[in-house]
Amino acid sequence: MRHFMLLLLKTDEMTGTEIKQEFERRTRGAWSPGPGSVYPNLAELETCGLVEKVEVQGRRTPYRLTEAGRMHVKMLMKRLPPEPKMRMISMLWFSFMSPTNRARHLVHNMAFSTDALMEIGASLSKKEKKSLLTEIKEVRDKLTKITKMLEKSD
């Protein structure tokens, strides 16, 4: 969670509440971290010298990255996508789901991915769009096969 918090603070100052809301927005409500996880993580990041509080404005306390925090974020961005350990944890969790829940999870991820591709598509160069379009068509063909298989089983 701390790494994602740092990534959120990369572009702007945010309060703990805003961080919580951004997690909710980005996961479409699938994850809503409570104050008991947001604020202790912010405190730990502050202790590590990666974030600092901005001038307190009443009860609203925004945080921002320190120089060390910006350097840490650069290092994180070089490591993305997530380390193999993170993927392994996701795969393990996935393996405990029932087939129905695995299918729902995958469909949810596809819907999320299509929305993300729509947002990104406008910012790509002509060459990048052409390459992406080729990949999307390959995925579409696979999805068409899956759809036909599922329709036949009804």
CATH number at residue 64: 1.10.10.10
User: Is 34 within the bounds of a domain?
Assistant: yes
Angle, vertex CA 7, rays to CA 36 and CA 94, nearest 5: 70
- Do 73 and 105 sit in the same domain of this protein? no
Q: pLDDT band at 82, cuts 50/70/90?
A: low
- Could you tell me the residue range of the domain that residue 125 belongs to? 97-152
The predicted-structure confidence for 39-77, as pLDDT tens digits, reads as follows 999 999 999 999 999 987 677 889 999 999 999 988 877
SS3 state at 59: coil
Q: Is 51 exposed, middle or buried (0-12, 13-18, 19+ CB in 10 A)?
A: buried
Q: Please state, for a pLDDT cut of 90, what percent of the chain lies above it.
A: 43
Task: Say if residue 125's pLDDT is above 60.
Answer: yes
* Residue 123: HSE in the Cβ half-sphere, 13 Å Cα cutoff: 5
Cis check: omega of the bond before 33, within 30 degrees of 0: no
What are 65's strand-pairing partners? 51
